[in-house]
Structure 1
Amino acid sequence: MRKGKLQQSVLVRSVFKMLGQKREDAAGPAVGRGVSALAGEKETQVFSCAPVLVKDPEDAVLAVCRVCNSVAAAGASAKGVLVSLMLPEAMEEKNLKELMRAVDGACVRYGTAVIGGHTEVTDGVLYPVLTVTAAGGTTRAGLFDPSCVTADLDLVVTKGIALGAVSYLAKTRRDELLTRFSPGFIHGAADFSEDYSVCREAEIAIGHGAAAMQDLSEGGIFGALWEIADGAGIGLDVALKRIPIQQETVEICEFFGVNPYQMLSTGALLIAAADGEGLVQKMALEGIPSAVIGRTTSGKERILRNGEEVRYLDKPQMDEMYRVGR
């Protein structure tokens, strides 16, 4: 099997189809659904889970942001976080403290906290394995997931793609980047991490009547577009040149020889809405850059336009971060 998120065909065939037991009050696993949910009398409980191999404390930050963003994209807010840690025998306690400070700092961004978990040491891992689960709630009916998407909706992306990847590389591969870029340039890219939360834009999108939202995490914008289309059984028509991308992202991705459209994009939100331009204007009033990048269609074709050139979206590929040694 390849690195990264399990291929969709294997996920459906060897994971989903093995799960025969169902609950009528639950929204369980599905393609493109980043959360699960349990319906209650007054509130729907929403959960999101993400594992990560921690080679740098920034990995822990990204894991917390990923699950909290997924909960926000579902229309809820994270109330608490559970943390499970499998530690290698060679790990020093000072490094454990650093890791947990990173987790706690990430929780502060979302107004949440670690409310429990489990930690143990094992000879079965070389790096710490961190699993983060965010739990939240909403009184709204239904989740904002791909099953809500229909044809003839605008597709809006906030902030920019590959922000998570580029910030991570600016922090963890700084010495390499200094061979080409100035310290100020690298510092600016590292600061993309300040914009990891998608909570505010999710609130704005909900208020504007968005049909669905997808936080851009592993697999980047191409992966999210595929998942939202496949989950809804619809087509897409997207203009590549409209997808927002920062100049730092372009140059750092070029330096490492990777594709920013298939990279970790923590901090960006993909939104399907009837009035995309109106939503972009509302985002701008809150200081959040965004752009309409295309529309959903009634067919099955997933079209990517680059000027006069037309091609078709491929099934999700391995995230480019694995090519640079994440």
Structure 2
Amino acid sequence: MPGKVSPDDLLAHVFERTETADETVLQGPADGEDAAAIDWPDGEGTLVVSSDPISLAASAVGTLGVYVASNDVAVSGADPRWLTAVVLLPSDAETEGGADGSLLEEIADDLHAAAGEIGASIVGGHSEYVDQLERPLLSLTAMGATDRFVPTGGAEPGDAVILTKAAGLEGSAVLAADFGDDLGIDAETRERAESFLDEISVAPEARLVRTDATAMHDPTEGGVAAGLLEVARASGVRLEVDRDGVPVREATARLCDAAGVDPLRIFGSGALVATVPGDAVDGRLEALSDAGIEAAKIGTVRECEGDEPALVLDGESIVEPIEDDLYPLWERADGAD
């Protein structure tokens, strides 16, 4: 099945081989952590670095690539500042577009515009044509600096859990674009869902939350539920969440109902999961509201009390990694072809 390598496989085969004695590495590869943190030798702060691929997007791949890679830097407490982009293209794209409108030019335009929107610069990369590809494959590395690194694994018992915007934004756009016809969804709802791609960056809300945040995370594959579980596992805590308190937009609810998927278990880019001390939650929610950013308190951090880290959703304890509900839809569609 496509998707992320499981946490157990990473623990068994990768993390043991990436340990370093370099004292400048404050955060290296670890379960639930999406960015590395490096203490700059000159003492000017912490360098945060994260890499992410984009392989499933059929359109706006450059824009999504910038947002997804930069989000992991933003939720670590840094402003995304530098980007490198590896762009792999199908070989037939070299001749289809021509000099006036090639796929490479379209992607480069999107990369440039998205980087400018978040205040970052593309400083390098690589591009080439690959016979085996049917669609573009991008891999971006984002970097930024901060005086206060915020890990995924910093949640403390008693903290409040905040979610910005809503669950399933990226997944809603995918459902509308890839399955809208089959699901019988009206054009207005599909258009509204596809517009959610304009909200994938979480850099604005991360800037407003990071001063008080004990942990921040960018839920991607597996949705908000997977993101919450990753915070719990990385922090060694239990996150108690009320499903009814998790914001879900009407277009998302309609698409998910038609597709038979859980809006909390589809691609969640565009939402920020953060934990903040209980006495700071009202101030952070007010700051987000003043900036025009939707946000809600959706749960509370609790001690494990002898149990393993978990997401407790409406009383159900979830400890195993969560697979994204969209993957079976793609597999069924491929099987029908």
The amino acid of 1:33's aligned partner reads E
Name the residue aligned to 1:199. Answer: 203
CA positional deviation for 1:72: 0.7
Q: Structure 2: how far apart are the matches of 1:78 and 1:51?
A: 17
- Stretches of structure 1 that go unaligned for 5 or more consecutive residues are none
> Does the 8 Å CA contact 1:62/1:266 hold for their aligned counterparts?
no
Q: Which moved more, 1:63-72 or 1:86-95?
A: 86-95
1:112-162 Cα offsets, whole Å, 9 max, x none, are 232210112233433322111111112x14x21133221111101011011
Name the residue aligned to 1:7. Answer: 6
> Does the 8 Å CA contact 1:229/1:235 hold for their aligned counterparts?
yes
Show the 5 A alignment for 1:1-326.
2-26=1-25, 27-40=27-40, 41-53=43-55, 55-91=57-93, 92-93=96-97, 94-138=102-146, 140-141=147-148, 143-176=149-182, 179-181=184-186, 183-207=187-211, 209-275=212-278, 276-299=281-304, 300=307, 302=310, 304-306=312-314, 310-325=315-330
- Tell me how large the CA RMSD over aligned residues is: 2.1
Indicate the SS of the match to 1:282: helix
Relative distance call for 1:215 and 1:234 in structure 2 (3 A) is same
> Does the 8 Å CA contact 1:78/1:134 hold for their aligned counterparts?
yes
Q: Structure 2: how far apart are the matches of 1:223 and 1:28?
A: 21
Indicate the SS of the match to 1:57: coil
1:77-124 Cα offsets, whole Å, 9 max, x none, are 111211112223222342222233232232232122322101122334
The amino acid of 1:156's aligned partner reads I
Indicate the SS of the match to 2:226: helix
Count of equivalent residues: 317
CA positional deviation for 1:229: 0.9
Q: Compute the TM-score of the two structures, normalised by the length of structure 1.
A: 0.90
Relative distance call for 1:305 and 1:219 in structure 2 (3 A) is closer
Q: Compute the TM-score of the two structures, normalised by the length of structure 2.
A: 0.87
1:223-267 Cα offsets, whole Å, 9 max, x none, are 111111111111121111111111111111122222211111111
Name the residue aligned to 2:334. Answer: none
The amino acid of 2:284's aligned partner reads L
- Stretches of structure 2 that go unaligned for 5 or more consecutive residues are 332-337
Q: Structure 1: how far apart are the matches of 2:111 and 2:55?
A: 14
Indicate the SS of the match to 2:60: helix
Q: Structure 1: how far apart are the matches of 2:246 and 2:127?
A: 41
Q: Which moved more, 1:19-28 or 1:38-47?
A: 19-28
CA positional deviation for 1:325: 2.5
> Does the 8 Å CA contact 1:216/1:266 hold for their aligned counterparts?
yes
Q: Structure 2: how far apart are the matches of 1:283 and 1:55?
A: 29
CA positional deviation for 1:18: 2.2
How much identity, in percent, do the aligned residues show? 26
Indicate the SS of the match to 1:325: helix
